[in-house]
Amino acid sequence: MSLGGIDVGANLKWVMSSNSIAVSPRLTCETWFMEGTLIPNYHYIEVKEDFSDLEERLQYYINHPDEAEAIIQHAHEYVAQFKDQQREKLISLLVLKKYFEITNSSI
């Protein structure tokens, strides 16, 4: 289970990097991890906000292990984009550049 509170579930990145499947209500917070681009039941198992379908959703994937494995693979592919350190540094610099342009600031 990856449950957010005021912010995103702190364990989401770890779960998606492991051989586990993240189970979560629809993600509503956005961080550097771009949670808004995650696709329910493709990158993680989505359950209702009140968890009323939790047992049913988990049983479905227990009964369909190939689909569960596909979610794990999709999660690993998603996480891989953040493991390219050179790309991450470049993106960080571009974000800073854009911030300084918008705020008319300088270093």
Q: Which two three-digit tokens encode residue 32?
A: 């550097």
Q: Please report, for the chain, how many H helices and E strands are present, in that order.
A: 4, 2
Residue 104 reports pLDDT greater than 90: no
Distances (CA, A) of 8 to 13, 51, 103: 10, 17, 27
Read off the pLDDT of residues 58-77 as tens digits, 9 standing for 90 and up.
Answer: 999 999 999 999 999 999 99
Indicate the DSSP class of residue 82.
G
pLDDT surpassing 80 at residue 84: yes
pLDDT value at 30 more than 90: no
Mean pLDDT of the chain: 92
C-alpha–C-alpha distance, residues 49 and 63, integer Å = 23
Task: Determine the pLDDT at residue 55.
Answer: 97
Residue 107: what pLDDT?
60
Residue 56 has pLDDT above 80, yes or no: yes
Question: 33-49: per-residue pLDDT in tens?
Answer: 999 999 999 999 999 99
